[in-house]
Structure 1
Amino acid sequence: MPKDLQALKSAMLACTLCKDLPLGPNPIFQLDRQARILIVGQAPGRITHAKGRPFDDPSGDRLRSWLAVDKPTFYTDPRVGIFPMGLCFPGTGSGGDMPPPKICATTWRSSVLQALEQVELTLVLGAYAIAWHLPDLGGKSVTEAVRQSSRGDGNMFVLPHPSPRNNRWLKQNAWFETEVIPRIQQSVRRILDTPSGV
C-alpha cells in the first residue's frame, strides 16, 4: 500500500475492488495534502455519481451554509477535504442508499488518514463514519452522537446529514443550528483565516 497521498489518490481512482456495483466503480473524493478540514460521510449518492463531484446538490448547499463557506472555497481550497467511508455509489436499497462496502474502508482509510498530516477539524456525517472515527459513539442515535460531540472535543463534530429529508429532525432539534453550528463556523473560520504553514 503506498504511503504518499498522491500515490494513494491514483490507486483509489483506479480501484475496481467492487466491480459488481449497480453503476460500476466511480471513486469520488476531494483530497490534498494541505487539507485541514476533513468532511467524512457515508458514500456518494446517485447524483454525486452522475456529476462526479461531492455535495453538488441541495444537501451540499445546506452543508456549506452550516460551514459558512462559499461554493468556490468548498471545491477549490485545498484545505477542504472530503473523504467518504465508501468511495463509490453503493446502490439503492429499500430504505435508501445501501451501506458503503466494508472493503473500501479497510483497504484505503487508515493509509489516507495517516497521509493527511495537517487535518485540524473533522466533520463526521452518518453512522458508518461515526463508528469509524468516534467508536465510543458508535451504536448511539444520530441525535445523541451530535449532542455528545457538540463542543468539538478532539476537533471533531458529528453532524446530521444535511439532506432536505432531515428537515423534520432539524426542526425538532433546533439547538443544533442555534448552539452547535456557530461553534463549527468559528472553527472553520479560524482554520481558513490562518495562512497555510502557520
Structure 2
Amino acid sequence: MTVLDDLRTEVAAHPSNAWATAAGWQPLVVGSPESRVLIISQAPGRKAQETGIPWNDASGVRLRSWLGMTDAEFYDPANLAIVPMDFYYPGKAASGDQPPRRGFAEEWHPRILPALTEVRLTILIGAHAQRLYLGPRRGRTLTDTVRAAPTYLPLFPIVHPSPLTQGWRMRNPWFEAETTPRLAALVRDALDRSPNDPPA
C-alpha cells in the first residue's frame, strides 16, 4: 500500500463520503510519488465516476490533445497525477455538473499533494482550482487568468475542455493557437527532464 492508497481508503471511509461509498463509487484521485505533471481540476464527470477512469469522456480526449499526451502516457501515474477539487461526481446541474463541494479540497489536498514529490508542472483546470491555488494573483476574469498562464509557472491555468466551453474557445482563438502548444511543450519538458535539470 502506498501513501495515496492509504489516503484513498481514508477518503472512502469518511462519513461525508458515505453516500458515494454506498453507491459503490471510489474516490477518483490518481498519482504516484514519481508523477511529473499534476492536474487539479473540478470533479469527475458521471462517466468517469461510473467507470472509475478519470477523464474518460470527450473532455478527456480534448484535454489529452492539448497536453500532447497519448492515452498510455496520460494514464501512467508515473507521468501524471489527477487530484480534482472533489473526488466524486457531484451530480447534474441545469447546465453541466454541480460544482465541487465546498471545503473538500481544503481538507484533502494538503494530505495528498505532499506525497507527489516529483511534480514539475501543475495544470489548474477551471475557475474552482484557479481560485484556490492562485488566490488574489488570478486575473479579474477566467479569460484574464488563462491569457496570463505562462506568468504563473510552475502553475498553468487553463479553461475546462468540456463541450460547454466551445463558445469560449471560439471567442478566444488564441487559446488553442498559442496557449495549448505552449502547454504541450511544458508537459513534454516535465516528462523528459531529469530531476536535476533546470526547466526549459
TM-score w.r.t. the length of structure 2 is: 0.86
Aligned-pair CA distance for 1:9:
3.3
Runs (4 or more) in structure 1 with deviation over 6 Å come to none
Aligned-pair CA distance for 1:31:
1.2
Of residues 76-85 and 61-70 in structure 1, the stretch that sits farther from structure 2 once superposed is 76-85
What are the Cα deviations for residues 35-76 of structure 1, in whole angstroms up to 9, with x where unaligned? Answer: 110011111111111111111111111100001100011002
Q: Which residue of 1 aligns with 2:101?
A: 101
CA distance in 2, matches of 1:163, 1:73: 21
Q: Which residue of 2 aligns with 1:70?
A: 70
CA contact (8 A) 1:15 1:25 kept: no
Instruction: Specify the SS of the correspondent of 1:84.
Output: coil
Q: Which residue of 1 aligns with 2:192?
A: 193
Instruction: Specify the SS of the correspondent of 2:39.
Output: strand
The 1:28–1:128 alpha-carbon spacing in structure 2 relative to 1, beyond 3 Å, is: same
Q: How do residues 40-189 of structure 1 correspond to structure 2 at under 5 angstroms?
A: 40-137=40-137, 140-149=140-149, 151-189=150-188
CA contact (8 A) 1:18 1:25 kept: no
Instruction: Specify the SS of the correspondent of 2:178.
Output: helix
Q: Which residue of 2 aligns with 1:18?
A: 17
CA distance in 1, matches of 2:164, 2:140: 20
Amino acid at match of 1:94: A
Matched length:
195
The 1:197–1:6 alpha-carbon spacing in structure 2 relative to 1, beyond 3 Å, is: farther
CA distance in 2, matches of 1:67, 1:96: 23
The 1:108–1:176 alpha-carbon spacing in structure 2 relative to 1, beyond 3 Å, is: same
CA distance in 2, matches of 1:48, 1:67: 19
CA distance in 2, matches of 1:42, 1:77: 19
User: Which stretches in structure 1 are left out of the alignment for 5+ residues?
Assistant: none
What are the Cα deviations for residues 119-170 of structure 1, in whole angstroms up to 9, with x where unaligned? Answer: 1101111111111111125583221110122x15331111111112222211
Instruction: Specify the SS of the correspondent of 2:184.
Output: helix
What are the Cα deviations for residues 7-38 of structure 1, in whole angstroms up to 9, with x where unaligned? Answer: 32332344442334695753112111111100
Percent of residue pairs identical = 35
TM-score w.r.t. the length of structure 1 is: 0.87
CA contact (8 A) 1:15 1:27 kept: no
CA distance in 2, matches of 1:72, 1:57: 15
Amino acid at match of 1:87: F
The 1:101–1:24 alpha-carbon spacing in structure 2 relative to 1, beyond 3 Å, is: farther
**Aligned residues: CA RMSD:** 2.4
CA contact (8 A) 2:34 2:118 kept: yes
